[in-house]
Structure 1
Amino acid sequence: MPPARETGAGAAAGVGDTVRVLRRRPPGSLWAEPDWWRYWLSRLVSYAGGTVTYVAAPILVYALSGSALLTGVTAATEGLPYLLFGLVAGALSDRVDRKRLMVSCDLVNGLVLLTVPVAAALGHLTVAHVIGAGFVSSTVFVFFDSANFGAVPTLVGRDRIPAANAAVWGTAQVFDVALPGLVGLSVAVVSPSSLYWVQAFTFLASAALIRAIRRSLSVERELTHRLRDDVLTGVRWLWSHPTLRAMTGVGTATSFALGGIVGQLVPFADQQLGIRQGDARLGAVFAAFSLGGLLGTGLRRFVAPYSPARISLVAMTSMSVLLLLLPWPHDWRLTVSVVFLFGVADIVAVMNVINFRQEETPEDMQGRVNTTGRMLSWGLGSPAGALLGGVVAGIHGSPAAVLAGAVVLAVATVLAWTSSLGRVPALRTELAGSG
């Protein structure tokens, strides 16, 4: 059964707008459209810069403080803004011009990140500054991401959402494979704070590219409700969809595990593997996760015959097993292998949820519904995993923190298989036949 939708004139207008927008999109190749190239390049440069600071931020905080707890807090602040501001950002992005909002967010983010290398050059950089800049940057990104969720279906059409997301994620993973190793080598020569110049520049470049997109990224919508009513409508719609509701729970659990890994990867490599800052093997550990993600994006056609529910369950099970194995090896090559396979399962799970949510959600509710789902997974799960990992690591060490996250994910996996997701047919054809 399809989920319950809004009733009344507002709902009818929203569905009508959705049909008109999606019908305008031609069924041809994305790569034949200049606006798609501009959008794709904007995402590419942003991901390149984000990868640099993704590696540099925990290294910088660990170098300044030597604290595994503060390193975990750094990772937590990246997801916490989604929990605090996700609902408002999602509703706002459905009410305003998405392109203008995305450009504004990129410009603000570029300026915020510039403060880190400037403070370092003046000799005033502190751990609080690094964490604070990360929190502000992540807060601004919440509003960008909310608009971006709605922009993609409007730009490419519903039928091409999986192809568009695979193109963006796949090419981003190429940078994720190459850049962590380079960053790991770079911090042996330059300060990690200097690398923040890179992401600041990429945000400014992204703003210019998005501004150059000629096609509108929004649909006209009559604002007949207050912002609070829009927020509640998005939450109710997501809750009314049984499959998406359960998959959101799965996403929250997997983000919890990933938050713990990201927050503890640098101290884990130090304590478990003897890999210090500036060691090329640290870059190899980060690159392994991204290389697995690159392979995972190429599995889109392989997993296409299976229902989204079954894809989520299998990916979650795989991550549980791999995460339980991660704390035991003392050989960095075994760790790299486990992290690589975890990266494969993680990207399959993430893309599966995002694709399904964008395909199912009405266009005029894309920002609210997708941001609500992201708020619970990334805004709640990831910071909670990072904070728990930091607390456990501060008492028992980083390997114990990773193991604690693995146990939580394993329990969540068992619960997921016994939930409504476990009763959904394995194949899409069976799912259609049972509808």
Structure 2
Amino acid sequence: MLGNDFHFIALMWLTYAISGSPLDLGLVMMFSSLPPLLFGLFMGVYVDLWDRKKLMILCDIFRCFVVLMFPLLYYFGLLRLAHIYLITFLLSSLQVLFESAQGSFVPNLVARPQLVVANSISQMTSQVTNIIGSALAGVLILLIGNINIFYLDSFSFLFSAASLSFITRSGRVAGATLSVSGREILHRMKEGMRLMANTELILILTITMAIMNFALGPVNVLFPILSEKILQAGAAGFGFLMSGLSFGMLIGAIVVGKVGSRLTKGKLTYWGVLLMGIFFSLFSLSRNFALSMGLIAISGFFFAAPKVLGITILQDKIPDEIRGRVLSAQIMLSSLMFPLSMLISGFFAQYVSVSIILLVAGFIMVLNGIYGLSSRVVSTV
């Protein structure tokens, strides 16, 4: 996780340094969002067929070598934007497979009543590394340069693979077989989509995540520009803003882990979406760096509810033998609006203030929260 944060900050800043165009930042993020759309359903089938633990280990090993392409191409003077797009696409493809396997494997490791706590701990761990990684990445870029950050990222994948190997429980679904025909693969893909479409709660959560992805798309594209041009904080400021968001999510994950099992998960999820939208809108209007840090941290605090409880609800309601397919389908559909949002925000950032675009994003979150709270099925979870 720590290496990923180094990687993200370095990648966005490297791209911006090469081209100086908000549109190219949007294109990088778009290429990172295409694999779920292209391969999500297909990967979901194999997540339900293969040993999920071994699949995660293989993904980490492959990512270790793929990420080394950045510094190798750079030192030979060959690194171009096209290479950044391609490598980003490959890494994202492996990440989709890893995350589908991870989300499907967690319910096999803990009892269902402990899912909220498990996902809360996972989110807490993620945000701790985000806080350290995002802030430290900005400083490391100044000290050792963008390109050397990718060596740290490569090592982090090896460390992750080694750590996963210590899990003793098998990740294979009972009765699963690797020998399936092309027609059977297609049937299994449709089966996952059918369950998602016919289960109202899963469908509502999927729609919500798709809308949130559309609203949050501008964040990765516009935060470097916001930090540089409006807040006058540069690369270090960009890293600290991302750390502020992560710090808020860390505190929020702790709170959700303590109260999430005792409250209505559905309502708590959408109250988090609504309140995040309100504070994110206020953040978009700030011109003071300290105030911006506070507002983005509060936004992150409320974002922890949908992040932790959304996946918990899905893991609890989806049967193990089909969980990989449904989660992959959800990831695919939730990702559908992400590249479009990043491309649109990168385009409009050339003509209007990034603050206006972020304000619109906050307003979309508010509407999303109201939509969820008005649903009857949400109140029953």
TM-score clears 0.5: yes
1:216 corresponds in structure 2 to: 170
For the pair 1:246 / 2:204, whether they are aligned, the reply is yes
Q: 1:178-193, aligned counterparts within 5 Å? A: 178-193=132-147
Give 1:165's aligned residue. Answer: 119
- Alignment-derived partner of residue 335 in structure 1: 292
Give a deviation string over 1:369-414, Cα, whole Å, max 9, x none.
112122222x223323222211111222422322332343344444
For 2:79, give the aligned amino acid.
Answer: L
Question: 2:15 is matched with which residue: 41, 61, 70?
Answer: 61
The residue identity in structure 2 corresponding to 1:395 is Y
Q: Deviations over 1:156-202 (max 9, x none)?
A: 23233222222222122111112211111111122212101111111
Show CA shifts across 1:236-295 (max 9, x none). 112222122112211111122222112211011122212223xx3333212101101111
Quick check: 1:116 aligned with 2:70?
A: yes
The whole-number CA distance in structure 2 between the counterparts of 1:131 and 1:395 is 24
Aligned position for 1:200? 154
**Residue of structure 2 aligned with 1:297, choices 253, 259, 266:** 253
The 5 Å alignment of 1:19-418 reads 47-223=1-177, 226-277=184-235, 280-300=236-256, 301-377=258-334, 379-418=335-374
Equivalent-residue separation in structure 2 for 1:141 and 1:116 (angstroms) = 17
TM-score by length of 2: 0.93
Offset at 1:222?
4.7
* Alignment partners' CA distance in 1, 2:225 and 2:337: 21
Aligned-partner residue type, residue 304 of structure 2: I
Deviations 1:111-136 (A, max 9, x none): 11000011122222222222321111
SS in 1 for 2:191: helix
Q: Distance in 2 between matches of 1:219 and 1:414?
A: 38
Cα distance in structure 2, aligned partners of 1:237 and 1:306: 26
CA distance in structure 2 between the partners assigned to 1:209 and 1:182 by the alignment: 23
2:68 alignment partner, SS class: helix
Alignment check: 8 A CA contact 1:243 1:309 kept: no
Q: In structure 2, what residue type is equivalent to 1:304?
A: S
Residues 275, 366 of structure 2: 8 Å contact kept: no
Instruction: Report the Cα distance in structure 2 between the residues aligned to 1:48 and 1:145, rounded to whole angstroms.
Output: 16
Alignment-derived partner of residue 17 in structure 1 = none
Rounded to whole Å, the distance in 2 between the matches of 1:420 and 1:77 is: 37
Alignment size in residue pairs: 376
Cα distance in 1, alignment partners of residues 132 and 54 from structure 2? 32
Partner Cα separation in structure 2 for residue 390 and residue 313 of structure 1: 28
Cα distance, 1:213–1:306 mapped onto 2, change above 3 Å: closer
Deviation at 1:99, TM superposition (A): 2.3
* TM-superposed deviation, 1:419: 4.0
| Contact 1:73/1:263, CA 8 A, preserved across alignment | no
Partner of 1:9: none
Tell me the secondary structure at the aligned position of residue 169 of structure 2.
coil
CA contact (8 A) 1:81 1:138 kept: yes
Task: Report the counterpart of residue 39 of structure 1 in structure 2.
Answer: none
Structure 1 position 366, deviation (Å): 1.4
Partners of 1:58 and 1:420 lie apart in 2 by 41
What letter is aligned with 1:235?
A: M
Task: Give the partner amino acid of 2:147.
Answer: S
**Partner AA of 1:130 in structure 2:** I
Q: Specify the alignment match of 1:33 in structure 2.
A: none
Residue 103 of structure 1 and its aligned partner are, at CA, apart by 1.8
Conserved? CA contact 1:182–1:283, under 8 Å? yes
For residues 304 and 255 of structure 1, the distance between their equivalents in structure 2, rounded to whole angstroms, comes to 26
Letter of the aligned partner of 1:296 in structure 2? G
Change (3 A) 1:167 1:76: same
Amino acid at match of 1:208: A
* Alpha-carbon contact 1:237-1:369 (below 8 Å) kept: yes
| TM superposition outliers: structure 1 runs of 4+ over 6 Å | none
For residues 334-386 of structure 1, the C-alpha deviation after alignment (integer angstroms, 9 at most, x for no partner) is 11111111111222211111011001111111111112122222x22332322
**Letter matched to residue 282 of structure 2:** L
Residues 274 and 367 of structure 2 are in contact (CA less than 8 Å); yes or no, is this contact kept in structure 1?
Answer: no
* Cα-Cα RMSD: 1.9
1:7-33 CA deviation, whole Å, 9 max, x = no partner?
Answer: xxxxxxxxxxxxxxxxxxxxxxxxxxx
> Does the 8 A contact of 1:251 with 1:350 survive in 2?
no
CA distance 1:346–1:385, shift in 2 (3 Å):
farther
Q: Is the 8 A contact 1:180 1:286 kept in 2?
A: yes
Whole-angstrom CA distance in 1 between matches of 2:194 and 2:116: 25
**How far did residue 57 of structure 1 move?**
1.4
Q: Equivalent pairs: percent with the same residue? A: 26
Equivalent position amino acid for 1:318 in 2: L
Whether the aligned pair in 1 keeps the contact of 2:48 and 2:176 (CA below 8 Å) is no
Q: Is the 8 A contact 1:390 1:401 kept in 2?
A: no
Which SS does the other structure have where 1:216 is aligned?
coil
